Amino acid sequence: MNRKAKSVLRRGVFAAMLALLASMALAASASAAPAWNFAGKALTESESETILGGALESSMTIPGLTTKCENFLYKLTIKNKSGTGEGSVTEVPLYNCSTNSKYCTVAAIAAEALPWASKLTTISTTNYIIIEGVKVAILYGGELCVLNETTVTVTGKAGGSINNETETATFSKATLEATKTELKALNQKIEWNGVFPTEAFEWHREQALTVS
């Protein structure tokens, strides 16, 4: 093999090595999982924490009818397992709920089949929390309401984006689409909208809660 051929071969091998290293770096980045952090430090494998989140207003929309709750709360026990954040939604109190129809009232509403499992994931550069096994039963009232005395059950899973600066989780049509999650009721896809400020309730009170 002459000198020119050897030089071309070396350049080809070097380029192949660079491509391999780049692909390995991208794979490592793609597989990196987000974890729960307090004051910039990740929870250890042996730690857990309880966090509370509450939206001043949150709504679920079935085509033609929006149900809004002035107080939509959740209690979530969190931990990191194998470097990935996960959790369990144990309580979801719902208060002062109404609809956007003058004919329909909310006679009763309750979260069912608790606890709901959750996990953190990263899509592109955004961190999300995925809540699985969601189940909310809504009993509507009102003599002129087409759903009078009907219990509508919302089921499925929902993904919400995490904002570290504001320590909030946001659920919307866009976040459900980004995480390929969906909620359904009456055999129809529904929308869930709400912004939930979140804070620690036990060992890490007043410490900044972030996901990274």
The pLDDT score that the predictor gives to residue 167 is 95
Region at 142 (left for phi over 0; alpha for psi -120 to 50; beta for the rest)? left
CA distances in angstroms from 151 to 61, 106, 107, 108, 172, listed in the order given = 15, 10, 10, 9, 23
Query: Cβ neighbours of residue 122 under 8 Å, at least 6 residues apart?
Result: 32, 33, 34, 128
Q: For the ranges 8-17, 35-44, 178-187, which has the lowest average pLDDT?
A: 8-17
Predicted local distance difference test score (pLDDT) of residue 33? 82
Q: Give the CB-side neighbour count of residue 51, counting CA atoms within 13 A.
A: 26
Which pLDDT tens digit goes with each residue over 103-144?
999 999 999 999 999 999 999 999 999 999 999 999 999 999
Where exactly are the structural domains of the chain? 1-31, 36-211
pLDDT of 87 > 70? The answer is yes
Write b or e for each residue in 116-127: b if 16 or more Cβ atoms lie within 10 A of its Cβ, otherwise e: bebbbbbeeeeb
Here the tokens at position 39 are 């004051």
Q: In what order do the strands lie in the sheet with 209-211?
A: 41-42, 36-38, 209-211
pLDDT at 27: 40
